[in-house]
Amino acid sequence: MSTRALLRSATAESHRRLERRLNVKAQLSSRTGYVTYLSRMWGFYAALELPIRGPLFNTALSDYEARRKLPLLTEDLTAFAFDPTAVTLLPRCEALPDCGDCAAALGCLYVIEGATLGGRTLFPLVESHLECSATRGATFLAGYGEQTDEMWRRLCIALDTGCATADCRDRAAAAAVSTFASLEQWFCG
């Protein structure tokens, strides 16, 4: 079984529960809801991306820096008249998953990159209802554009490379489940 398949199985219930509780499509149907969504995502990524750095992945994922979402979220919020300094003062998530080693960080990134794939399905809603685009107001949801599938493929290779042992796969799965739990707590209380 691939590491991706193991992580998908381990997180299936957490993923379903978060989707039910979050109801993102309803949030993205109004400007206020969308800005709230972006602000909460910014607070999650601002806290999460600091402890996860490229060197943590060793050679398993050399393109991590290109995957960072915080700059995209900041850009989207400033498109909605947020002052860049005000963005940095938004609340940040405190209950984060433990991503202290390569396997755990990859498990966390599995969830984050899965959200990037999901963003592609949400992007048309924001584009049509809120008149945003991949270059203004919805850069986060646009993900990597035409490169999204290729970035996902490279992550899947990194999952198998960085989680080659059963112990590493277990740590990755625990971190992925914990990432979903952190997101649920942050968004839903």
State what percent of residues in the chain have pLDDT above 70: 99
What per-residue string of b and e applies to 40-66 under the rule 16 or more CB within 10 Å gives b? bbbbbbbbbbeebeeebbeebbeebee
Amino acid sitting at position 28: L
User: pLDDT tens for residues 61-71?
Assistant: 889 989 999 99
Residue 98 neighbours by CB distance under 10 Å = 15
Q: In whole angstroms, what is the distance from residue 62 CA to residue 103 CA?
A: 14
Gyration radius of the chain over CA positions: 16
* Six-digit token string for 186: 């942050």
Give the class (CATH, top level) of 3-188: mainly alpha
Q: Which residues pair with 136 in a beta bridge?
A: 133
Is pLDDT of 81 > 90? no
CB neighbours of 16 closer than 8 A, spacing ≥ 6? none
Q: Are 117 and 143 in contact (CB under 8 A)?
A: yes
User: pLDDT tens for residues 148-181?
Assistant: 999 999 999 999 999 999 999 999 999 999 999 9
User: pLDDT tens for residues 35-55?
Assistant: 999 999 999 999 998 878 767
Q: In whole angstroms, what is the distance from residue 106 CA to residue 122 CA?
A: 24
SS3 97: coil
Q: What is the DSSP string of 154-172?
A: HHHHHHHHHT-SHHHHHHH
